[in-house]
């Protein structure tokens, strides 16, 4: 997991809003630094780091909720969707790794068993051992594990598609623009315009 990008120019004595915007700007940049990974379905580590960056951005928006108002809340909803979509993708990656490791172990167990059987077998028994090894019984543990692995890969593909589709939609809706606007200091003239509107 990557470390949070540092926010170097925080001023402890400045008003909260000033620092909140600085932190937000860094967290936005941190999230979008992973954008190249969006088009790379096999970049599991980077996509996981992107999820963590999305969490950091969301928690920053929540932490300074009073500073960012309603617009901030809308951004929290959007980032939460990103984080959740990447979360499903990560869960499938973890699952593929765990199931894959167990399948490898089951395969190794079976190989050990065949080797041991052949080593101690009489010549006339060897053909039967070979046949049995090549045609495992219907309830062999590998069957269930292979089924799980197939399902996990299919689900991962679906999760990836759902994420890229969401990312594209949020991009078209101007999520990045809205976030960056939120991180910019509000100018007095804009405040006046807002008040008179």
Partner 1 sequence: MTDATARVAAAIDIGSNSIKMSLGRLSGDGRLEEFGQVVDVVRLGQGVERTGALNPERVDAAIATLKRFAGEARAAGATEIAAVATEATRAARNGAEFLERVRSETGIAVRVVSGEEEAALTFRGLETDTELTGHVVVADIGGGSTEFVVANDGVVLGSRSTPLGSGRLTERFVTTDPPTPEALAQAQAEAARVIERLARSLKLPRGESVRLIVVGGTGEYLARMTAQERSLDRRVVQNVLGKMAVLNAAELAEIIDAPEARARVLPAGVAIVAAVASRVLANRIETARSGIRSGLLLEMLTRPVSAEKPAKTRPARVRRAAGATPAGDAPEPAFREAMRGLIHERWQEVWKVMPAAIEGTSIEGVHDVRVASRRLRAAMDVAAPAFPRSWYKPLHLSAKEITSALGEVRDRDVILERLQEQRTAAPPADWPGIDRLIHRIDDERIVARSAMEAYLAGLMRGHLRDEVERRFAPRDPANARHPEDEGKE
Minimum CB separation from partner 1 for residue 124, in Å?
Answer: 30
With CA atoms as reference, report the closest residue to 155 among 51, 74, 85. Answer: 85
- Closest to 42 in 3D by CA, of 171, 179, 167, 153: 153
Q: Please, what is the minimum distance in Å from the beta carbon of residue 94 to partner 1?
A: 6
Give the interface with partner 1 as residue ranges (CB under 8 A).
4, 7-19, 23, 55-56, 59-60, 62-63, 91, 94-95, 98-99, 102, 106, 138-148, 151, 185-188, 191, 195
Contact present, 180 and 18 (Cβ < 8 Å): no
Rounded to whole angstroms, how far apart are CA atoms 99 and 105? 10
d(CA 197, CA 194): 5
| Cβ closest to partner 1, residue 59 vs residue 121 | 59
Q: How far is the CB of 172 from partner 1 (least distance, A)?
A: 28
Measured from the CB atom, is 5 or 32 closer to partner 1? 5
Reading the block at residue 101, the tokens are: 């490791």
Taking the least distance from each CB to partner 1, the nearer of 121 and 162 is 162
Q: How far is the CB of 149 from partner 1 (least distance, A)?
A: 10
> Which residue do the tokens 């197939």 mark?
150
Which residue number, 101 or 126, has a Cβ lying nearer to partner 1? Answer: 101
- The count of residues in the chain is 197
């Amino acid at each position: 997991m990557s470390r949070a990008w540092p926010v170097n120019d925080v001023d402890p004595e400045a008003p909260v809003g000033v620092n909140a915007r600085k932190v937000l700007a860094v967290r936005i940049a941190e999230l979008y630094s992973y954008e190249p990974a969006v088009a790379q379905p096999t970049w599991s580590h980077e996509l996981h780091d992107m999820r963590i960056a999305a969490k950091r951005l969301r928690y920053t928006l929540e932490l300074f909720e009073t500073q960012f108002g309603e617009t901030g809340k809308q951004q929290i909803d959007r980032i939460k969707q990103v984080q959740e979509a990447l979360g499903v993708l990560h869960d499938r990656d973890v699952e593929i790794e765990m199931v894959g490791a167990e399948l490898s172990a089951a395969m190794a167990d079976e190989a050990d068993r065949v080797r041991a059987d052949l080593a101690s077998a009489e010549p006339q028994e060897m053909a039967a051992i070979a046949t049995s090894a090549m045609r495992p019984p219907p309830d062999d543990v590998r069957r269930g594990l292979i089924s799980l692995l197939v399902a996990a890969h299919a689900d991962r593909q679906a999760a990836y598609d759902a994420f890229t589709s969401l990312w594209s939609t949020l991009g078209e809706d101007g999520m990045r623009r809205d976030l960056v606007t939120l991180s910019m200091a509000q100018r007095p003239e804009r405040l006046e315009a807002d008040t008179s509107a």
